[in-house]
Amino acid sequence: MKRTDFFRCSAHTLCALVLFPLLLLKACSKPYTDAQLREDIAQKLMIDIRYFCNDGTVPERCRTPVTTLPDEIGALIRQHNLGGVILFRENLHSTEQIIRLTQNLQHAARQSSAQHPLFIGIDQEGGRVFRTPREYTTAFTGNMAIGATYPVYGTHFAKQSGTVIGAELKALGINLNFAPTVDVNNNRDNPVINVRSYGEDPQRVAELGLAQLTGMQQQGILATLKHFPGHGDTHVDSHHGLPKVSHQRERIEAVELLPFRHSINHGEPAMVMTAHIQFPALDDSKLMDTQGNHQYRPATLSRAILTDLLRTEMGFQGLVITDALDMAGISHFFSPEQALIETFRAGADIALMPLRLHHPDDLSGLEKLIDAVVDAVRQGELSASEIQQSAARIRHYKQHYQLAKAFKVNTKQAITAAKQLLGNPQHRLIEQQLTDASVTLVRGTTQLLHDQVQELLLVMPEQSGCMALQHELSLARYALSSRCLSMDDYHAGAFSTQLQAVEAVVVGSITPAASLVEFGGMYDQNTTGEQLSPQQQQVLIPQLIHQAKAADKPVFFVSLRTPYDIPLLADEADTVLAVYGYNTHQVQIDGRTLVTGPAFAALARALTGISEPEGQLPVRMH
């Protein structure tokens, strides 16, 4: 079969059903040598190159970002025929630097014996989980904002945001996106999904997820439905522990599984990412952990969930990738070798971040990990034919998405084209239109601020948000004067002093606190960035609102994240709005460095009457 035959199918599903079995038959007709087995195992691994230290730093303390490809990592890719890498914010500084890094990664892959291009992946969901610099790429406000626009705009903004994100990733040499998140967030205490979800209605989540996925994949980016079978109804973050969903099968079918089924039945999802979550109703078998305890198998390690349910029953034809295996939901219970063997036995095609490679001394661990899988195959613990089939499926998707084109890219031309595309005026316009359309008036009216108020006090959780709103209010209404009071530098008495000099107060809230995935992952467990904890802020906010009302000042409360806590925090507020995001970035205007952000721009226009809030809550507050 010629390479070009892969691109003659008008539909990806037809290619998968017709051409992939022919490839597999051809692959399986040859003797399966040890060298081929090792190559196939390596194709099933996707490593993290966020940090690397070759200067004697202790591996556990290594925080030197990889912005240019270290010789040691390049050699690792060449030697082992690795399948892919994942990039993080620390790897991504400028357009030129990112393109040179992705090109050097692909150059290393081209020099391997197999010469298969790399999957270069990223968590680019939009909103809070966004890895490329917001200053020059289009971040959008996130999925819950998209969900708020659905009653008026349907799937329009989901498709548009997917298209823009996909085009900009493609321009940077990134070919795989771990998005969209199609978890149905119906648990108000969910610490990790919340605003990353389109909402709590499964059908709405299904339609928006498919639209965003389609937009990305039409740009040549492999998109990923996550986190299968669903992470929305948990109160434990799988970065910290091992959550369990105890619902019966009927309820899981109607809620958690519905968005995945919808995309599989009506679209062509390239990937599905697993969840490190126990679902006893889907698999009640148990596995002994490293402490000698028997645990329900998390979905990532469950053949009943990944093979019997996802592949056989639901008919998924694409690639199954694990969530990061260094997360506590796996790594605190299972060794890297056990986790890798069990997830391959379960039916996962790709293991994401199976071990850390921060130091030259760590690199030998990769070969040991491959050795462990080889031994498991030779001892009959893993099926050689399933490893072979999985690797053939990976190669098929790399060919179908024409990833080898990266071997022939002219780097200078790519940099020039990317600078013209990234964050261009049309993309920024779509970003702002989405955010404007998502602003939700939960209670009251914004009329109080339109003309009467001249002096305004802004109380925001973070200094950057306070500065962004102050800047955007000055653009929306020049005569309006505002003062900033940030809770990340809050001092008792400051509010009382400022309150006397203003006519109205805007109070913002971020709940729940940011999760590890927003920072990047397990490396960031001690990152807070706040002097007042989220819990302290939640105690303080109602007190500030009460004090302002006692002083006869109108109060505008703004939910900057998920709106679940509005009834607890803003009972006395005159007007309540939700904007679902608080991302900011710097801009240069007339030689000055200013702070802005699409949510704060949309909020300023709503508060000053330039635009009317159109959004509707995608979740219930009670």
Q: What is the DSSP string of 142-203?
A: -HHHHHHHHHHHTTHHHHHHHHHHHHHHHHHT--EE---B------TT-SSSGGGSS-S-HH
| pLDDT mean over 483-498 | 86
Return the pLDDT at 238: 65
Decide which of 591 and 139 is more confident: 139
Among 323, 326, 565, 574, the one annotated catalytic: 323
pLDDT band at 533 (very low <50, low <70, confident <90, very high): confident
| pLDDT mean over 407-436 | 98
Identify whether the C-beta of residue 486 lies closer than 8 Å to the C-beta of residue 444: no
Q: Does the pLDDT of residue 186 top 60, yes or no? A: yes
Identify whether the C-beta of residue 520 lies closer than 8 Å to the C-beta of residue 493: no
Q: How far is residue 503's CA from residue 198's CA, in Å, rounded to a whole number?
A: 36
Q: How far is residue 272's CA from residue 260's CA, in Å, rounded to a whole number?
A: 9
**Burial class of residue 549, CB neighbours in 10 A (0-12, 13-18, 19+):** middle
Return the pLDDT at 24: 56
Phi first, then psi: what are they for 158, rounded to 5°?
Answer: -65, -45
- Measured CA angle at 342 (ends 337, 344), to 5 deg: 100
Phi first, then psi: what are they for 271, rounded to 5°?
Answer: -140, 155
Average pLDDT, the chain: 91
Return the pLDDT at 523: 55
Return the pLDDT at 4: 37
What is the percentage of the chain residues whose pLDDT exceeds 70?
91
Lowest mean pLDDT among 5-19, 264-278, 311-325: 5-19
| pLDDT mean over 477-485 | 90
Q: What is the largest CA-CA distance in the chain?
A: 83
Lowest mean pLDDT among 5-9, 139-143, 469-473, 475-479: 5-9
Q: What are the residue ranges spanned by the domains of the chain?
A: 3-27+41-277+313-415, 439-607
pLDDT band at 2 (very low <50, low <70, confident <90, very high): very low
Instruction: Using the structure block, give the residue that is written with the tokens 């998109």.
Output: 223
Is 375 marked active-site? no
Phi first, then psi: what are they for 559, rounded to 5°?
Answer: -85, 115
One-letter amino acid at 255 equals V
**Burial class of residue 34, CB neighbours in 10 A (0-12, 13-18, 19+):** exposed
Instruction: Using the structure block, give the residue that is written with the tokens 């059903």.
Output: 17
Identify whether the C-beta of residue 405 lies closer than 8 Å to the C-beta of residue 132: no
Q: Does the pLDDT of residue 209 top 60, yes or no? A: yes
Return the pLDDT at 189: 87
- 3-state DSSP assignment of residue 229: coil
- 3-state DSSP assignment of residue 576: strand
Return the pLDDT at 12: 47
Identify whether the C-beta of residue 286 lies closer than 8 Å to the C-beta of residue 360: no
Select the highest-mean-pLDDT range: 15-29, 187-201, 310-324: 310-324
Q: Does the pLDDT of residue 17 top 80, yes or no? A: no
Lowest mean pLDDT among 136-145, 417-426, 478-487: 478-487
Return the pLDDT at 534: 78
Q: Which of 264, 269, 249, 338 is nearest to 301 (CA)?
A: 338
Return the pLDDT at 341: 98
Return the pLDDT at 7: 35
Q: Does the pLDDT of residue 15 top 60, yes or no? A: no
Asked: is 3-27+41-277+313-415 a CATH 3.20.20.300 domain? The reply is yes
pLDDT band at 452 (very low <50, low <70, confident <90, very high): confident
- 3-state DSSP assignment of residue 141: coil
Decide which of 413 and 60 is more confident: 413
Cβ atoms within 10 Å, residue 69: 20
Q: Does the pLDDT of residue 435 top 60, yes or no? A: yes
Decide which of 397 and 332 is more confident: 397
Return the pLDDT at 519: 65
- What is the CATH topology of the domain spanning 439-607? Rossmann fold (3.40.50)
The backbone region for 49, taken as left when phi is positive above 0, alpha when psi lies in -120 to 50, beta otherwise, is alpha
Q: Does the pLDDT of residue 235 top 80, yes or no? A: no
| pLDDT mean over 101-118 | 98
Q: How far is residue 20's CA from residue 393's CA, in Å, rounded to a whole number?
A: 7
The encoded tokens of residue 249 equal 């099968």
DSSP letter at 31 equals: -
Instruction: Using the structure block, give the residue that is written with the tokens 């009670």.
Output: 622
Q: Does the pLDDT of residue 6 top 50, yes or no? A: no
Identify whether the C-beta of residue 329 lies closer than 8 Å to the C-beta of residue 276: yes
Task: Establish whether domains 3-27+41-277+313-415 and 439-607 are of one fold.
Answer: no
pLDDT band at 122 (very low <50, low <70, confident <90, very high): very high
| pLDDT mean over 434-456 | 89
DSSP letter at 224 equals: E
**Burial class of residue 97, CB neighbours in 10 A (0-12, 13-18, 19+):** middle
Q: Does the pLDDT of residue 529 top 60, yes or no? A: no
Lowest mean pLDDT among 129-143, 229-243, 503-517, 538-552: 229-243
Q: Which of 387, 305, 379 is nearest to 351 (CA)?
A: 387
CA atoms within 13 A on the CB side of 22: 11
Q: What is the pLDDT of residues 250-299, one digit of tens each?
A: 999 999 999 999 999 999 999 999 999 999 999 999 999 999 999 999 99
Q: How far is residue 225's CA from residue 141's CA, in Å, rounded to a whole number?
A: 19
| pLDDT mean over 525-536 | 62
